[in-house]
Amino acid sequence: MKLLEIVTQIILLSLPHAYKAVNGLIDRPRRPAFARSSVLTHNSLTFLTAALQSRGGAHDESTTNIAIDDANDSIAVHSDEMQQLRQQWSSVPAIPSISWPFDIELAHDETHKEHIQQQKQKPIKAIIIMDGFSPYHGQYLDQAAHHLYGAAVIHILSDFMTRFMYQVEKETDHLSSRMPDLDNAQEVEAWKNLIPSNMEVCGIYCESDSGLDDAEKLGVALGLYPRCHDGVNEARRNKYLTNQMVQDAGLDTVKQKSCKSLKEAEEFATTLGLEDGAENASTMVVVKPLRGVASDDVHLCSDMASLRAAFNKIYQSAVFGSATSSKHENVLVQEFATGTEYAIDVVCKDGERKVAALWKYDKRAVNDAPFVYFSTQLVAAVGEDVEQAVCEYVFNALDALGIRWGLHHVEVIVEKTSTDTIRVRLVEVNCRQHNTDFRPLTNAVVGYNALDMTLTAYLGDGSDSQQNKHQYPLETEHLRLKWNTLPTLPSTLAYGAIVHFVSFVEGTISRIRFDILNEMEELDSVMDMEVYPQFLEVGNEIEKTKDIRTDTGWAHIMNDDKIKFQADYQRLVELMAEMFEVE
């Protein structure tokens, strides 16, 4: 029986059972929401443990990005300083950090060791994972590649993360896992020559936003483009260029301008209808950096005063994830598009695109912030006019950006016009995963997930074994997704959402309402939830949620009864306001 058929039958029997069954939780006791923690298995990356534990679970910002964002200014360096750092590291050569599907250290005797050595000489597929820190993204892919595909994994650190660990965390154990100097052809060739000749590198997966530029350049340096790589294109990371390329391809986009001065920003905002000192203004504009993550420094401005404040905050600030001491010389001003916002997770295999999950955002203006996440709800695309229009637009946008491989997280805004026309416009394209622990929920609600789709896109599913001698494990054949049998657009088997716990108070925590937490966890639709550990100690500080970094926790909710699902979601939102008391 196929995996999707099994999941469908389980779903029909019991939703809570289904959530646990497809995620391996059947025999695992459910701990209270206030007792959860995250585990980091990479010993050399223990500096991230605290960040993982404090920001674990289902949030929309990867641990990597959270950990490095506040240090962005402190580690930015000029190009010549980067060369000086490489000189300091020269005593530790950069080498491929290969993780094999079989561990010789676990061999129980000499015969077993010899067998493993023989296995390492056979043809084997591999995938490169850059900045793979998260237990539910990069580390999951590492284990799944080994167990399901019998594939090797080459771990590598982006230049940004190498410097962060060296300069800020004072680590040195990681230096051999850094990238080779891509400007040094001899060093690149030496690094490539350390990859076994029987190993076929099938693609690069980059978990962090800060590593995306490095991942593109590394793929070209290793000769992966265009066989299983998309080459280098700055427009995939620059929000202005992204929209410009999509617009040049004939797709609808918001009006925008990359502004070098405040005067230029004011003049363009005036053309959009923004006024100075106007009360009850009907026109608003968005001001944001050309490169950023989540809703960092994204401002919704209703008058010139707020636009000036936003511009001055962004201008000359550090560029997120920059390889040098880059500052924002330009600030992006855009028309504010109203409507419903969607996020689309798409996996591409040599230009064939399939939607792994379609999410509808519930963002609200609270706590003096314009875009606070309350939930991301999974929705079906099949048979839905709006959702199908969204997916078609996204496919065309990816095509405009020359994206043919890998996992991508795209956000659009949808508006129904007065003539009932569906108008879709781009918000942004992220050439990495949806930064949340989406796999358990999509497994149960959709029947599969984007990470497993990414593995089958890069590593194949065994049907191409005639062309490659790679040996896929027979015992996990039933667990591998078959790319050709996956639908282009997803359906849903139930209602499901990731709920963000929003704080409406700030100050010193004087009381934690465990009675409220227990009521939340006991709701029928709540499959799993967590309150972040720092908010479970009296005396710790808490602030009002204004972005995903100031969330206090999360919940996965799922139900096949729409009314019950919506009622439980509404109840969670009501209870959020009572979780903590402060002084």
Which pLDDT belongs to residue 64? 41
- Could you tell me the strand order of the sheet in which 285-288 lies? 256-259, 331-335, 285-288, 299-301
What pLDDT does 467 receive?
53
What pLDDT does residue 37 have?
Answer: 33
Give the pLDDT confidence score for residue 292 in this predicted structure.
Answer: 76
pLDDT less than 50: residues of the chain: 1-15, 17, 21-22, 24-76, 466
pLDDT, position 277 = 75
Half-sphere exposure of 5 (CA within 13 A, CB side): 4
What is the side-by-side order of every strand in the sheet holding 541-542?
541-542, 507-512, 580-582
User: Cβ distance 523 to 465 under 8 Å?
Assistant: no
Instruction: Please tell me the predicted confidence (pLDDT) of residue 55.
Output: 29
Could you give the CA distance from residue 172 to residue 165 in angstroms, rounded to a whole number? 8
Q: 6, 199, 179: which is closest to 93 by C-alpha?
A: 179
N-to-C CA span, the chain = 58
Quick one: angle between helices 562-576 and 514-522, nearest 10?
Answer: 170
Q: What are phi and psi of 471, to 5 degrees?
A: -100, 110
Average pLDDT, rounded, for the chain = 86
The CA-based dihedral angle spanning residues 291, 293, 295, 301, taken in that order and rounded to the nearest 10 degrees: 0
Distance of CA 548 to the CA centre of its chain: 13
Quickly count helices (H) and strands (E) in the chain.
Answer: 19, 19
The residue assigned the tokens 């620059």 is: 238
pTM of the full structure:
0.87
> 417 and 339 in contact (C-beta within 8 Å)?
no
* CA–CA distance, 287 with 265 (Å, rounded to integer): 9
